Structure 1
Amino acid sequence: MEQTYPTWHLDPTGEAVMEDIHTPYWRHFINIILEQNLSDCTVLDFGCSRGGFLRLLHDSRPFAKGVGVDIASTSIGDASELAGKRPLSYHVTGDPSQLGVVFDFAFSYEVIYLLQDLSEHARQIKDVLKENGVYYAVTGCHTESPLWNRRKEVISSSSSSRVLSYSPDDYIDAFASQGFKVTLRRFGFNDFVPPPVNRKFHPSIMDALTYNSEEKILFRFCKK
């Protein structure tokens, strides 16, 4: 959605590589989840795109197995090539329950607002999570975001899917109706950010700051 300037970091081998534009936000995401030790866990990234989140998560908090799913075959191809020797696999699908794998944790970052049926998504996530498994989902795209209608137009112009308007309660109700225990918090990103390039999405500097710190919500859906 938002275009930002690329940055660089050293990978585990010491090679300098260009970060994904979302990397600083993913790093914050990883730092604020409750679970510290994922070493024996199987992890799902729903809407994984080119696989950057799972690579960063494994490099930060190693896990036993990671699976990414996305409907974009080109992105999945890139993710598979970039996985290296990490225990990651990627699949072209929008329904993780088709894979026959159960997970300790699932993650999504700015994906669920694009879904056409939240209740069906909640059912699919329930099917693939182990008992007491947790799904962390981040989005700032909701009707209580002051500039949502403007941002919706921007997103719709580049999306192949119809963009719906969900309230935070819509996300909560979809998962609560499937028996999940729902908790939430502000995403609360408070690190340095570059000035916004796309002023249609963030008209002012303060919009760019408040979107990530105040408007983005981190949902924690726990399967009971």
Structure 2
Amino acid sequence: MLRPSTIATWNRNPADEEAMGAAHAPIWRRMVDVSVPHDLSGSTILDYGCNQGGFLRLLYDRQPFKSAVGLDIARESVARADLLKGHRPIEYRVGDSAADLGRTFDFAFSHEVLYLLPDLARHAADMRSALRIGGAYVAAMGCHTDSSVWPRWRQLISETSSIPIYDHSLEAVARTFTESGFTVAVRPLDLDAFMPVTVGSPYFPRIVDQLRYYSQDKVLFRFVRKP
């Protein structure tokens, strides 16, 4: 099944869609802390799969950048992001092609987007066209076939997601981006924050599942565009 060109929101439940930003904030902060240089004042940024725009707002408030674009196929989510951006130099666009933006970026980010893409090679080529030579794309990924929680999560996410999901291994991601003209590096997210424990969570029925996920299963890829 092909990914739809646009959707209204990612989550079928509006309340869950609204809650996503707060839940992801500790992860976004960790992404910024371990993958972003100290000075972004002259840099251009792309957030691929921006949802309601929380990552770019957090990034700008911590390390102001020159300009940014948030790209997402969810129309209502993008509209919400635009309302929330305030004074920040961010543009939000509906779509799934970074190349169609007609510009190049110094850095690109995505959070749990890769498992929603049916064609990794197409995405890698698209991101390569949108990055300057030496530009870096940092992609957070916990939804992959090497994750200990993926068999359970795949079913749970399928019940709430507005689009299909796909089974990608870490090796498949690394191989695809290597073959598409990137140098590839990876590290565990290794979240250095307290995470709220939700007793009875279907995603983390045991605390050890939560600890293992954030210290081992969830990873950050860094893809750097070669000439």
1:86-122 Cα offsets, whole Å, 9 max, x none, are 1000000011111101100000011111111111000
Shift in Å, 1:147:
2.0
Identity of aligned residues (%): 42
1:166-217 Cα offsets, whole Å, 9 max, x none, are 1101110111111100011011003101013662211211111211111101
Shift in Å, 1:221:
0.1
**Which residue of structure 2 lines up, in the alignment, with residue 189 of structure 1?**
191
Within the alignment, does 1:118 sit opposite 2:90 as a pair? no
1:123-166 Cα offsets, whole Å, 9 max, x none, are 00000000100000001111111121111001111122221111
Any runs of at least 4 consecutive aligned residues in structure 1 with deviations exceeding 4 A, and if so which?
none
Question: Which structure exhibits the higher relative contact order, with contacts defined as CA atoms closer than 8 Å and separated by 6 or more residues?
Answer: 2
Q: TM-score, normalised by structure 1?
A: 0.89
Please, which runs of 5 or more residues in structure 1 have no aligned partner? Answer: 7-18
Q: TM-score, normalised by structure 2?
A: 0.88
**Which residue of structure 1 lines up, in the alignment, with residue 109 of structure 2?**
107
SS class of match (2:153): helix
| Residues 42/167 of structure 1: CA separation in 2 closer, same or farther (3 Å cut) | same
Please, which moves more after superposition, 160-169 or 45-54? Answer: 160-169
Shift in Å, 1:34:
4.7
Match of 2:57 among 55, 58, 69: 55
Please, which runs of 5 or more residues in structure 2 have no aligned partner? Answer: 1-10
Contact 2:68–2:91 (CA<8 Å) still a contact in 1? yes
Match of 2:218 among 216, 219, 223: 216
**Which residue of structure 2 lines up, in the alignment, with residue 68 of structure 1?**
70
Partners of 2:171 and 2:161 lie apart in 1 by 24
Correspondences of 1:169-208 after superposition (within 5 Å): 169-196=171-198, 199-208=201-210
Correspondences of 1:28-107 after superposition (within 5 Å): 28-107=30-109
SS class of match (1:45): strand
Contact 2:199–2:205 (CA<8 Å) still a contact in 1? no
Partners of 2:200 and 2:43 lie apart in 1 by 38
**Which residue of structure 1 lines up, in the alignment, with residue 6 of structure 2?**
none
SS class of match (1:22): helix
Please, which moves more after superposition, 190-199 or 24-33? Answer: 190-199
The number of residues matched between the two structures is 209
Within the alignment, does 1:26 sit opposite 2:28 as a pair? yes
RMSD: 1.5
